[in-house]
Amino acid sequence: MISGSGRTRVQGCGLGRSKRPTQAADARELLAYDEDTAGGLMTTDFVALPRALTAGAAVARLRALDEPPDPLYHVYLIPEEGSWRLCGVVALRALLLAPPAAPLARLGDPDYRTVRADERPEAVAHVMAEYDLPDLPVVDAAGDILGVVLIDDAVDVLYPDLWRRRRARGRR
């Protein structure tokens, strides 16, 4: 487990630091974001690995995790250990089906959609729906990954709006 400079909790499969942040520290960090933003929706429980790793080494690191994120749809690529700049995303399916010697950089999608932490939750949900994304990385102005919004959390944002529309149609 890794703590990203005290700013985010990342399960990095042994990326360098071994001290696990407490749940209280995670909660304090997330509470710093307005609940009506992508930062307020995100989880800081995700896997980030250096893009130079091979698929085999990445799978070994995932297997070595004490508590892998649940759900785990993607592995987020960073340039090197100690960096948080998002430079690609690898689907778990692609990782598992790749030859063990394949570098993650070759498997990754460098153009995967991202949102900023201050984005409105409705905008996040619409991006996820439009591009059929199970998760969506949240990045800061420098492109560093802060967390991930999961589809179930994004859908929860839309439910109140959907229910209001349904009720309005029923009253006509």
pLDDT at 162: 61
| pLDDT for the residue 29 | 63
Q: What is the reported pLDDT for 17?
A: 28
105: which 2 tokens? 């950089």
pLDDT in tens, the chain (172 residues): 333 333 333 444 443 323 345 555 555 566 577 788 999 999 999 999 999 999 999 999 999 999 999 999 999 999 999 999 999 999 999 999 999 999 999 999 999 999 999 999 999 999 999 999 999 999 999 999 999 999 988 888 877 666 666 666 766 5
Q: How many residues does the chain have?
A: 172
DSSP-assigned beta bridge partners for residue 138:
115, 147
User: Which residues, including other chains, have CB under 8 Å from residue 123's CB and lie 6 or more apart?
Assistant: 115
Tell me the one-letter amino acid at 149.
V
Fold of 2-170: CBS-domain (3.10.580)
* Contacts of residue 25, Cβ cutoff 8 Å, sequence gap at least 6: 3, 9
**pLDDT at residue 55 in the model:** 98
Contact assessment for residue 82 and residue 48, using Cβ atoms and an 8 Å cutoff: no
pTM greater than 0.85? no
What are the extents of the domains in the chain?
A: 2-170
d(Cα 122, Cα 142) in Å, to the nearest integer?
A: 23
